[in-house]
Amino acid sequence: MSWIKGILFGVVGYLAGYWLSISLGVERGTEAPFAIGYVFFFAGWLLGAGVWDHWARSWFGLENKTPPTKESHGWKRYFMFSTDHKVIGVQYLVTFALIFFLAGAFAMAFRYELMRPGRDWLSPKEFNTVMSTHGILMIAVAVSAIIGAFGNFVMPIQIGAEDMAFPRINALSYWTTPPVVFLILGANLLQGADYGFDFGWTAYPPLSTVAGLGKLFFLLAFMTLGLSSILGALNILITVIRLRAPGMTWGRLPIFTWGVFTTSFLSLIFTQFVFTGLFMVVLDRVAGTAFFAPDQGGGALLYENIFWIYSHPAVYVMIIPGFAIMLEILPTFARKPLYGYKWAIGGFFGIVAMSATVWAHHMFTSGMPDWMTVPFMAATEFISIPTGIIFLSALGTIWMGKLRLKTPMLFALAVVFNFLIGGLTGIFNADVATDLQLHDTYWVVGHFHYTIVGGEIFALFAGIYYWFPKITGRMFNEKLGKLHFWWMFLGFQAVFLPMFWLGYNGMNRRIADYIPELAGTNMWVSASAFLLGASFLVFIYNVVNSWVRGPQAANNPWGARTLEWQIESPPIEHNFHQIPTVTGHPYDYGVEGSVHAVLAPQAEAAD
Amino acid sequence: MSTLAHDSKYQLVTRRLGLWLFILSESMIFIALLFTRFLMQGVYRPEELNQTLGLGITTILLISSFTANRAEVRIAQGDRTGFLRNLAITIILGLVFLVVVVAVEWPEALHFAPPSTGYGTLFFAITGMHAFHVLTGLIILIIIFFQGKRGQYSPEDHWGAESGVVYWHFVDVVWIFVYPILYLFGP
């Protein structure tokens, strides 16, 4: 088992790294041996998990092992090192679903604290750590879940490829993610002064340079997550550029593939900035540098700039794949061609191009020169133009369509609804005058939950329901799916809509207490949060039950046209019996005589 | 099943593209660090910087890039001895660069620009990040050297060697930006 061997090798690596740094004269009791130990843990973990096997064995002239296949290992292959893009996709999906529920549980914990004003059961530092843990784990889910799961499982099939361009780097980027969770949970388990990290997911200095091992764990975890994101993006870009089937021109590329493709530009280029920013904090902590000492020319603003140069594009890394799933699902269930296909792609590229010009709108209250605020405000508001084009494409597709309201479609429609609220409330944050009032309040919390949860996470669930029959070969229970949708949708509105009101009335985010006048609304929000949390029990029951003993799914239950629906459910190894030839547009629903792709007849080719 | 994706020439271009994207991504680290240099310290530069040493190691690294290129050309022409010889020279020059930076330049800089000062922070972080890339490049070149010695690589198929050399050029190009920004800028 890759997991057990990975942890074992990781621990050995950690001890070796710790010992090495001590014997090289690094002072015991400082954080440096831990940081160096972690680097060795990370290398050991990857070695144990089997990531280096292929490369390292060839360096030493050894034979390579045969990879685990469906025939040889059955379901156990999901727990092993595999280079099959479908296995990696499922590994990503299940891992990040678990992280999502874990992070949700942390939210339940601090919503219990916020139920009443005053202190209930968490100390301020515990509250901040629990809140920050929820934050960073959810950021990990938002950045990686859709791209990792469906970008891996669905995208190569959609373009008619057998696998990703670099299958081993693909596996590497998956096996990089578990240490992130180990570190974040480890920071929560530390005792005393080392416990936790209380700076949100942003880790602004000087708070993040204060002593405490938990903080170091957080920084290392975030850097590791960045590495995974970069490698995944590189793989997706090359796969789409190089491995499209004959006839799969850029103008015939399915919109979901376009979404992960454009997103990958952002991950590839900007993730290095947050990596560098966090690295500077680590250096200040362990190597005694002075990046964030104000008297040496640096300071907190330097970090904020570097951090948001990545972290604002990162929100587009989260939402563009969400939009892409929405646009993938809407035409299938509206039985209409995707409205403004080329404009929607233009919208993606527009967002990518503008994403790096808006970062300082996170810093209006941080102390920037007045003349800088208006350009950043204007740029931020301009970015709603490409976003609006994507919206127009969604609405045009729904317009006069004959909608089939199956579970995936309901989730896709909810994305349109939620993101509208998220987008409109964002204008007040982009506007300097109103942002000075709303900054760091629950208004902002409501805004980004409506965009990222209401937009991306709803799209993630839309994708899970949409591709579930393809991934598992079984059908989920439609009634339970709809129950989950309405429960989650209404619960979501009940939790996050009042937050705008709370923020407007001055409730600060990241603080364990609030003015007593807001007690009633907070009680409502907390109660609704528990209700929202409970909705996922329906989902878990439905998915687990259907995966084990659900009815056999048809190859194309939704009557969709893209390539992944033209092959078996679940797909065979390497997806196609013969590489298909693409002859037409993927979304020509109801267009006479249009054929998206020609596949070799399945039975004939199997002989 | 034979497809275009399995064609070795097509695959080579795919891998090249992958390496270039990796290099593009990696350059962002240095862009962030070098911008930080101007944000924190403007063009300030301490008088005590050892200019002779700076110019010396720059020359060494530039020459090593030339020999790395020679190595790649030799294996493409099927001249294994020339390949290994040039690769060995590259590795030695790279080692000299690394040792001089870490064992001579750093202890000197500790006196006039310790990491607790603004310029020292930048000097050690940027040269350190570059030295780390030199180290990884050296490890890759050493692996390639021993693989070449075992008879791997041919004029038709020497992607492993090519990728190592391209990465080495990248490390070199980074230094071409680092050197003037740390050593030469300023009054």
The minimum CA-CA distance between A62 and chain B, rounded to whole Å, is 12
Residue A556 has pLDDT above 90, yes or no: yes
Is B121 close to A298, i.e. CB distance below 8 A?
yes
Q: Provide the token pair at B26.
A: 């990696």
Of A241, A243, A298, which is closest to B40 when you measure between CB atoms? A298
Note whether B24 contacts A165, CB cutoff 8 Å. no
Mutation target for A interface from B34, B36, B152, B163: give the one with most A CBs within 10 A: B36
Report CA dihedral (B14, B16, B21, B23) to the nearest 10 degrees.
Answer: 160
Residues in A closer than 8 angstroms to B147, CB to CB, are 58-59
Q: Which of A587, A555, A536, A371 is nearest to A471 (CA)?
A: A555
Which pLDDT tens digit goes with each residue over B116-172? 999 999 999 999 999 999 999 999 999 999 999 998 899 989 999 999 999 999 999
Q: Where are the domains of chain A?
A: 1-65, 66-603
- φ/ψ of A468, rounded to 5, equals -55, -50
Mean pLDDT over A363-375 rounds to: 89
pLDDT at residue A593 is higher than 50: yes
Give the pLDDT mean for A185-189: 95
Predicted confidence at residue B135, as pLDDT, reads 97
**Model confidence at A604: pLDDT above 60:** no
Q: If pLDDT is split at 50, 70 and 90, which confidence band does A603 have?
A: very low
A66-603 belongs to CATH 3.30.450.20: no
pLDDT of residue A601: 63
Grade residue A607 by pLDDT with cuts at 50, 70 and 90. Answer: very low
> Is A57 touching B (CB cutoff 8 A)?
no
Question: How close, in Å, is residue A470 to chain B by CA atoms?
Answer: 23
Interface of A with B in 268-297 (CB under 8 A): 268-273, 275-277, 280, 283, 287-291, 293, 296-297
**Whether residue B84 has pLDDT greater than 70:** yes
| Residue A219 reports pLDDT greater than 60 | yes
- Give the distance from residue B37's alpha carbon to the nearest chain A alpha carbon, in angstroms: 9
What is the mean pLDDT of the segment spanning A12-25? 91
In this complex, which of A289, A298, A306 lies closest to B124 when CB atoms are compared? A289
At B1 the pLDDT is 44
Kindly indicate the confidence band of residue B5, based on its pLDDT and cuts at 50, 70 and 90: low
Instruction: Name the strand (E) or helix (H) holding A598.
Output: strand A597-598
Structural domain including B179 reads 4-184
Contact A271 B25 (CB under 8 A): yes
Q: Are residues B36 and A234, on separate chains, in Cβ contact within 8 Å? A: no
Across the interface, whether the CB atoms of A574 and B121 are under 8 A apart is answered no
Compute the mean pLDDT over every residue in chain A, rounded to the nearest whole number: 93
Distances (CA, A) of A261 to A171, A445, B95: 19, 29, 40
B114 upstream amide cis, omega within 30 of 0? no
Which A residues in the span 111-150 are in contact with B, Cβ-Cβ below 8 Å?
none
Contact: B1, A165; criterion CB under 8 Å? no
Note the pLDDT tens digit of each residue in B56-73: 999 999 999 999 999 999
Please, which pLDDT band fits residue A62 given cuts at 50, 70 and 90?
confident
Name the interface residues of B facing A (CB cutoff 8 Å): 1, 3-5, 10, 13-14, 17-18, 21-22, 24-26, 28-29, 32-33, 36, 39-41, 115-118, 120-121, 124-125, 143, 146-147, 150
Which of A242, A297, A306 is closest, CB to CB, to B32? Answer: A306
Beta bridge partners of A582: A597
Give the pLDDT score at A66: 74
Indicate which CATH number applies to the domain containing B98: 1.20.120.80
A:B CB pairs within 8 Å: 105
User: In the predicted model, is pLDDT for residue A411 greater than 50?
Assistant: yes
Mean pLDDT value of segment A72-80:
83
Q: Peptide bond preceding A206: is omega within 30 degrees of 0, i.e. cis? A: yes
Q: B25–A230: do the CB atoms touch at under 8 Å?
A: yes
Contact between B14 and A290 using a beta-carbon 8 Å cutoff: no
Whether A238 and B33 lie within 8 Å, measured CB to CB: no
Cα A205 from Cα A202, distance rounded (Å): 9
Q: Which residues of A touch B26 (CB under 8 A)?
A: 272
**Distance between the two ends of chain A, CA-based, in angstroms?**
35
The distance of B54 to chain A (nearest Cα, Å) reads 22
User: Would you call A581 helix, strand, or coil by DSSP?
Assistant: strand
Considering only CB atoms, B118 lies closest to which of A271, A290, A309, namely: A290
For the CA atoms of B27, B28, B31, B37, the dihedral, rounded to the nearest 10 degrees, stands at -120
Chain A 26-55, residues with CB within 8 Å of chain B CB atoms: none
Alpha-carbon distance B18 to nearest alpha carbon in chain A (angstroms):
6
Residue A531 has pLDDT above 60, yes or no: yes
**Cα of B69 to nearest chain A Cα, Å:** 22
Residue A274 near residue A306, CB atoms below 8 Å: yes
Flag if B41 and A59 touch (Cβ within 8 Å): no
pLDDT band at A51 (very low <50, low <70, confident <90, very high): confident
Distance CA B83, CA B64 (A): 14
What is the chain A residue with the closest CA to B151?
A61
Minimum Cα–Cα distance from B123: chain A residue: A289
pLDDT value at residue B4: 64
Q: Minimal Cα distance from A60: which residue of B? A: B147
* Confidence (pLDDT) at A557: 95
Band of residue B2 on the pLDDT scale cut at 50, 70, 90: very low
Rounded to an integer, the average pLDDT of A386-406 is 95
B152 versus A541: the higher-pLDDT residue is A541
Shortest Cα distance from B55 to chain A (angstroms)? 26
Counting the structural domains of chain B, the total is 1
Please enumerate in sequence order all residues whose Cβ is within 8 A of that of B17, keeping only pairs 6 or more positions apart, or say none.
A238, A241, A242
Q: How far is B13 from chain A (nearest CA, A)?
A: 9
Contact B25 A268 (CB under 8 A): yes
pLDDT interval class at A217 (50, 70, 90): very high
Residue A371, C-beta contacts closer than 8 angstroms, at least 6 positions apart: none
Task: Considering only the beta carbons, identify the residue of B33, B115, B143 that sits closest to A290.
Answer: B115
B36 contacts A579? CB cut-off 8 A = no
Using the Cβ of A180 and the Cβ atoms of chain B, whether some distance falls under 8 Å is answered with no
pLDDT at A149 exceeding the cut of 50:
yes
> Percent of chain A having pLDDT more than 90?
82
pLDDT digits (tens, 9 = 90+) for A338-348: 999 999 999 99
How many angstroms away from the CA of A290 is the closest CA of chain B? Answer: 5
Contact between A101 and A534 (Cβ < 8 Å): no
The rounded distance, in Å, linking the Cα atoms of A605 and A480 is: 38
* A369–chain B Cβ distance below 8 A for any pair: no
Q: Chain A residue with minimal CA distance to B147? A: A59
Q: What residues contact A54, with CB distance under 8 A and at least 6 apart? A: A64, A168
CA distances from A435 to A123, A439, A443, A449 (A): 30, 5, 10, 17
Helix, strand, coil shares of chain A, percent, nearest 5, are 70, 0, 25
Q: Taking CB atoms and an 8 Å cutoff, what residues of chain B touch A283?
A: 121, 125
Cβ distance of B36 and A268 shorter than 8 Å: no
Secondary structure E strands in A93-153: none
Q: Out of B3, B29, B125, whose CB is closest to A579?
A: B3
Residue-level pLDDT at A605: 43
- Among residues A19, A15, A4, A10, the alpha carbon closest in space to that of A41 is found at A10
Interface contact B25-A234, CB threshold 8 A: yes
The pLDDT value recorded for residue B3 is 62
Dump pLDDT digits (tens) for A99-138. 999 999 999 999 999 999 998 899 999 999 999 999 999 9
